[in-house]
Amino acid sequence: MTRISSLLAATAVGIVLSSGFAVADTKDKRIALSNNYAGNSWRQAMLKSWDKVTGQAVSDGAVAAADAFTTAENQATEQAAQIQNLILQGYDAIVVNAASPTALNGAVKEACDAGIIVVSFDGVVNEPCAWRIAVDFKQMGAVQLDYLAERLPDGGNLLEIRGLAGVFVDDEIHAGIEQGVAKHSKFKIVGSVHGDWTQEVAQKAVAGILPSLPEIAAVVTQGGDGYGAAEAFRAAGRPIPLIIMGNRQDELQWWKEQKDANGYETMSVSIAPGVSTLAFWVAQQILDGKDVPKDLVVPFLRIDQDTLEANLETTEKGGVANVEYTLEDAQKVIAGM
């Protein structure tokens, strides 16, 4: 090798190292996203973040492909078949937002047995061979009651808007809300509906139950349902209670309008849709040979009265307040920092 070619080779190695990933180890690897549902703004933002970050990663040579696949229906059997198809297509890693923590375990185990890395996030799976990335959804429910206890020390009646029935996330947030009610016993849940994490479904469900409900002090939610709840109360001519929001742009915009008009005060909490990009980088790091704990926890994104305007300003119309992750962010999460 000539001195010039040696210098060029050293320079290439330096570029690889400074980029933060070992291109030689994962540049030929293919990662797939298996997503069970895309019917609300959070899921749309999640897919958009995936495309943005993984598209750049493919362009930079971090991986060869990062394709996204979403099932037509939120059915575990359909998603299991999708995962089996991705196995046949020869992907090196599958990132999964799962319809069920248990119903996909057979397909996930098939993937692992085929030597495929499986990283689940948001809707995680409990198959031991897979990795899991989640927020503490139970705490996300409980924190709502802690906030309400500060704002409404005398307690009151609550309306609970749940998410998609049968999904791990819905069960966990609901359990956290129940835990919070047990802790703050002056509150009582007097009605519960499923809003499916969408404004339209939530508005219709709340409108249907409101005539049978007593005075409501607050509405506890899961995300994507706050604005729909407010519209249902308004249409019914009932006083609008304190509604916990879920970081959607239309919720934040409505909140700001009410804040400016009459000092309306609440809080908003959700998992950032960009957690999909963290899952991508975690999969890339595992493929790169890094030692990654099977269970990783990321904080949920909370917005309070004093941070409303700043978050609204950076949230696109129709979108969700978001955080997208870099390789360096993933490395810090993996290291437990």
Q: Which domain holds residue 191?
A: 137-270
Q: What is the pLDDT of residue 1?
A: 40
* Cα separation values, 23 from 58, 60, 205, 281, 289, Å: 11, 9, 50, 13, 12
Same domain, 120 and 167: no
Q: What is the pLDDT of residue 57?
A: 97
Q: Is residue 2 part of a domain?
A: no
pLDDT in tens, 10-29: 333 333 433 444 444 899 99
Residue the block writes with tokens 């959070």: 42
In 3D space, the residue among 321, 185, 180, 159 whose CA is nearest the CA of residue 249 turns out to be 321
Token couple for 12:
């290439």
Q: What is the pLDDT of residue 73?
A: 84
Q: Is residue 318 part of a domain?
A: no
Instruction: For the beta carbon of residue 43, count every other beta carbon within 10 angstroms.
Output: 22
Reply yes or no on whether the pLDDT at 4 is more than 90: no
Q: What is the three-class DSSP state of 190?
A: strand
- Give me the mean pLDDT over the 239-259 stretch: 97
CATH number assigned to the domain comprising residue 94? 3.40.50.2300
Q: What is the pLDDT of residue 144?
A: 98
Q: Is residue 4 part of a domain?
A: no
Least trusted range by pLDDT, from 75-89, 109-123, 247-261, 323-337: 323-337
Q: What are 97's strand-pairing partners? A: 35
Q: What is the DSSP letter of 217?
A: S
Same domain, 220 and 240: yes
